[in-house]
Amino acid sequence: MKPLIKLPTAIAANIEYVLCDIDDTVTTEGHLTAQAYSAMQSLHDAGIHVIPITGRPAGWCDHIARMWPVSAVVGENGAFFMRYDHSARKMEQQFWTDAGTRESNRQKLDLLAKTILAKVPGCALASDQPYRIADLAIDFCEDVEPLPESAIEEIVSFFKAAGATAKVSSIHVNGWFGQYDKLTMTKQLFVDVFGQVITDLQEKILFIGDSPNDAPMFGFFDNSVGVANVRDQIHRLQHLPKFVCQNRGGAGFAEMATYLLTTRK
């Protein structure tokens, strides 16, 4: 991983889309700081599309799409995207699977949750689980005492044994039924919202994240960036970001935004 300042200024100056994880990338220790939100607003004001690509639930994503300075949001690790049209005052939603499939998967996930909670001491349903549509989030350090690596791997193994996809974030293990992830829905969003094939925009897109569920994005994008705490997750990452910030969390996100905007001057 190279320092962020090694991202060529000619490329940085022409970035039109910033795709970003939320937890521990835009946020810092669970808080959205004024510094990070201001950086997001500055990118937006400069004409750069900010698009969170998150594992957070549909309920949160509705709020984010409406009230943050973003162009769209991908939620629940790629289960859907949401985009709010402010002029029409209308929310656009697109899911990876149909309503019937989502309902069937929900029933299977609810049964799986009971098994995991009974078998892995100390874990819990994520506090935002009631607002989720397509996945199951098991908390291993957000609102519970941090669990050891062995417990996290055990949670992952229960998902995989049930035939579900499992991804580890910085706070949760997320599991779902379906062949999608953050990257697949991001590709779909660009076709449906921007009328663009994402592979044609490599030089205009920057992705910034910090955790294992960001690995597909790190591997795909040429301009992939990790905030400094990505180093805490190296042992879990299949793909590393090409560049890394000096600062952690929201301060790293703000560092990235400042770098992009400075090169434009």
Q: Is the pLDDT of residue 51 over 90?
A: yes
pLDDT of residue 6: 97
DSSP-based three-state secondary structure for 75: strand
pLDDT of residue 265: 81
Longest dimension (CA), the chain: 56
- Give which of 262, 247, 258, 205 is closest to 25, Cα–Cα: 247
Cα dihedral sign, 193-194-198-204: negative
Portions of the chain given CATH number 3.40.50.1000? 2-96+180-264
pLDDT digits (tens, 9 = 90+) for 61-87: 999 999 999 999 999 999 999 999 999
Contact 4, 245 (CB under 8 A): yes
Neighbours of 219 (CB within 10 A): 15
DSSP-based three-state secondary structure for 194: helix
Which residues, including other chains, have CB under 8 Å from residue 92's CB and lie 6 or more apart? 82, 83, 84, 85, 193
Instruction: Tell me whether residue 241 is exposed, middle or buried, using C-beta atoms within 10 angstroms of its C-beta: 0 to 12, 13 to 18, 19 or more.
Output: buried
- Mean pLDDT for all residues in the chain: 96
> pTM of the full predicted structure?
0.94
- Give which of 110, 134, 116, 140 is closest to 23, Cα–Cα: 140
- Tokens, residue 263: 């090169």
Q: What confidence tier does 170 reach under pLDDT thresholds 50, 70, 90?
A: confident
DSSP state of 200: G
Q: Which CATH architecture has domain 2-96+180-264?
A: 3-Layer(aba) Sandwich (3.40)
Name residue 18's beta-bridge partners.
50, 206
CATH value of 99-176 in 3.40.50.300, 3.30.830.10, 3.90.1070.10, 3.40.50.720: 3.90.1070.10
**Strand (E) positions, the chain?**
2-3, 17-20, 49-52, 73-75, 80-85, 90-95, 124-125, 136-139, 165-168, 172-176, 205-209, 224-226, 243-244
pLDDT of residue 236: 85
Chain position carrying tokens 């309902």? 103
Portions of the chain given CATH number 3.90.1070.10? 99-176
What mean pLDDT is predicted for residues 50-68? 97
